[in-house]
């Protein structure tokens, strides 16, 4: 890698001019009238040599820049920009701007690759998750179209198909939400709002499902309870915790919801007396599409807790879990 500098050439040019100016009067005063012409000729030769040296320096510099531009356009890594000693020269300013341009292009390329990987992951997740409901719907419809069966049996197949369609719609909507949160397309807007109202909205959404299982839900929450949060998306996060509690707690079970202010901030917990989570899986329950092996035959897709964590972390809060197998689980949110 060449190091470009014009200081030496500039010094040579200045030195040549000074020598010419000092030599002419000295030699003229000594009676050598032909000497000035010789000095002028020598100066012309020196300046011509300096001109070609300048031209070569500039040509080498432009060749290096041209090679760098080709590397930028081909998005190759390991780009080495020309080195310039004169930090205040035009070459140095040009290289500085070229370096900033390369850095901006590199960041944009990295962001594009990350978005491409995220899109590929989303498509893979979507295709994997909807494969089962699509297969079940196809099988049920084929049976309905190829066999004659009583009205009650037909209705059973139709209800099962509708359930699979609802499951597929839920998966697609959940994956869309996850993708928008992960890509930053959704910007949460935390503000001081009444968490009691947000909690009430989430409880209304889960009421019918809990009523079918004859569950007892107790709530302890100050009113009003002003906490910094995004009401819309925090309601979604709390609903996912409640839905998880209802889903994995048997009929006639109990769910306790408690909100309180502590020294470290506001807390909200959702406790149930359901089946609990094995200790070895508690660290993974907030992962995307994760489900413990013992609940694979139960409703669910493994996206609710992941969405809850994403929503809360996006507004500076976090969620934790404590669970004992056979005794139930407690999910706690701390609002910061």
Cβ atoms of residues 277 and 150 within 8 Å: no
Residue 196 has pLDDT above 90, yes or no: yes
Local structure of 316: helix, strand or coil: coil
Reported as type and span, the H/E element at residue 84 is strand 83-84
Instruction: Say which DSSP state 223 is in.
Output: S
CA neighbor of 236 nearest in space, from 176, 294, 278: 176
Q: Given this model, what pLDDT does residue 279 score?
A: 84
- How high is the mean pLDDT of the chain? 77
**247 neighbors 288 (Cβ within 8 angstroms):** no
Task: Report pLDDT for 223.
Answer: 87
**φ and ψ at residue 89, rounded to 5 degrees:** -80, 170
Query: pLDDT tens digits, residue range 261-315?
Result: 988 889 999 999 988 888 888 888 887 777 776 665 666 667 788 889 988 988 8
Pairwise pLDDT comparison (41 vs 315), residue with the higher score = 315
Greater confidence (130 vs 200) lies with 200
Neighbours of 12 (CB within 10 A): 15
Q: What is the pLDDT of residues 125-150, one digit of tens each?
A: 666 667 777 887 888 788 878 877 78
Q: What is the pLDDT of residue 218?
A: 92
């Amino acid at each position: 890698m060449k190091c470009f500098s014009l200081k030496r050439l500039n010094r040579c040019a200045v030195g040549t001019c000074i020598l010419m100016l000092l030599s002419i009067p000295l030699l003229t005063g000594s009676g050598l009238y032909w000497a000035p012409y010789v000095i002028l000729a020598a100066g012309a030769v020196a300046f011509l040599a300096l001109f070609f040296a300048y031209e070569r320096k500039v040509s080498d510099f432009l060749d290096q820049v041209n090679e760098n531009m080709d590397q930028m356009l081909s998005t190759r890594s390991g780009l080495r920009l020309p080195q310039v000693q004169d930090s205040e020269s035009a070459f140095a300013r040009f290289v500085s701007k070229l370096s900033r341009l390369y850095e901006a292009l590199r960041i944009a390329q990295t962001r594009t690759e990350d978005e491409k990987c995220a899109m590929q992951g989303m498509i893979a997740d979507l295709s994997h998750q909807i494969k089962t409901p699509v297969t079940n719907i196809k099988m049920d419809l084929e049976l309905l179209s190829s066999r004659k069966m009583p009205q009650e049996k037909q209705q059973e197949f139709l209800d099962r198909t509708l359930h699979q369609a609802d499951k597929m719609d839920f998966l697609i909507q959940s994956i869309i939400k996850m993708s928008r949160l992960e890509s930053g397309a959704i910007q949460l807007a935390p503000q001081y709002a009444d968490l009691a109202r947000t909690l009430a909205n989430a409880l209304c959404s889960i009421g019918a499902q809990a009523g079918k299982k004859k569950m007892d839900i107790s709530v302890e929450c100050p009113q009003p309870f002003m906490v910094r949060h995004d009401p819309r998306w925090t309601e979604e996060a709390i609903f996912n915790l409640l839905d998880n509690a209802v889903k994995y707690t048997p009929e006639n079970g109990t769910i306790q919801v408690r909100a309180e202010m502590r020294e470290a901030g506001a807390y909200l917990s959702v406790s149930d007396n359901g089946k609990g989570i094995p200790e070895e899986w508690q660290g993974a329950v907030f992962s995307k599409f994760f489900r413990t092996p013992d609940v694979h035959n139960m409703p669910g897709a493994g996206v609710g807790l992941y969405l809850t964590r994403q929503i809360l972390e996006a507004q500076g809060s976090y969620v934790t879990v404590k669970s004992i197998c056979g005794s139930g689980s407690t999910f706690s949110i701390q609002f910061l």
